[in-house]
């Protein structure tokens, strides 16, 4: 199945989960309130960072950009089936990104132990960085508060305090940005509906036009 078909299948299956109506209501409210003009824009400077990868190694934006452009994707966490699918489809295109001199990087608020699990589960060969407290995502206007559905997540054993090191229930808005070697955002995909993700083919088109 294609990525869009796989994501749609997840949504169809999720419709039968008890209590999912509250999550969907929360999502619809967020989509209505989200102001794209207050989020990252093409031409903005991407925030500099030094973050831990899945093994605990410190990775800096300076070192990454020294190699060339970045394709940065934000995901909510290992517990999110939509995120895992999106990461898997990006991994399938990794050789194409690399051949074009672009480094693919994923960011999540989850601590390294959890991002390591995500890396292993999805057989990812690109850096997965812990954006602690959603620091980078916040500077980009890409933070989504899920506290309205905290009981739903607790009932399913999703412990955000353990995963994030805090109890904020904040996650990044699913977004993918193409950043040129000077650190400027050249393309963006920002989607407040977490059930939708960028098609890797579009990211390749971005890179080819860079």
Instruction: For the chain, give the percent of residues with pLDDT over 70.
Output: 100
Residue 15 has pLDDT above 90, yes or no: yes
What mean pLDDT do residues 12-28 have? 95
Q: What is the pLDDT of residue 101?
A: 97
pLDDT in tens, 84-104: 999 999 999 999 999 999 999
Calculate the CA 7 to chain-centre distance. 15
pLDDT band for 188, please (50, 70, 90 cuts).
Answer: very high
pLDDT in tens, 29-45: 999 999 999 999 999 99
What is the pTM for the complete model shown? Answer: 0.96
Residue 210 has pLDDT above 90, yes or no: no
Tell me the CA distances in angstroms from 30 to 2, 21, 69, 165, one per residue in order.
27, 14, 31, 24
* The CATH homologous superfamily of the domain defined by 3-209: Glutaredoxin (3.40.30.10)
Extents of the domains making up the chain: 3-209
């Amino acid at each position: 199945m294609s990525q869009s078909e796989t994501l749609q299948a997840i949504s169809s299956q999720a419709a039968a989960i008890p209590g999912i109506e509250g999550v969907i209501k929360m999502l619809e409210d967020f989509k209505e309130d989200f102001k794209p003009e207050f989020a990252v824009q093409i031409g903005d400077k991407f925030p500099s960072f030094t973050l831990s990868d899945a093994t605990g190694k410190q990775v800096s934006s300076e070192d990454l950009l020294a190699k060339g452009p970045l394709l940065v994707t934000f995901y909510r966490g290992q517990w999110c089936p939509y995120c895992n699918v999106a990461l898997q489809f990006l991994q399938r295109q990794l050789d194409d990104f690399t051949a074009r001199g672009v480094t693919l990087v994923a960011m999540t608020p989850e601590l390294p132990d959890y991002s390591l699990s995500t890396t292993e589960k999805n057989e990812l060969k690109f850096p997965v960085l812990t954006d602690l407290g959603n620091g980078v995502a916040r500077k980009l206007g890409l933070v989504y508060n899920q506290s309205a559905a905290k009981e739903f997540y607790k009932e399913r054993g999703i412990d955000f305090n353990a995963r994030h090191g805090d109890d904020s229930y904040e996650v990044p808005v699913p977004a993918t940005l193409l950043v040129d070697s000077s650190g400027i955002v050249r393309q963006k995909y920002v989607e407040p509906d977490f059930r939708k993700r960028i098609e890797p083919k579009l990211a390749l088109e971005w890179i080819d036009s860079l």
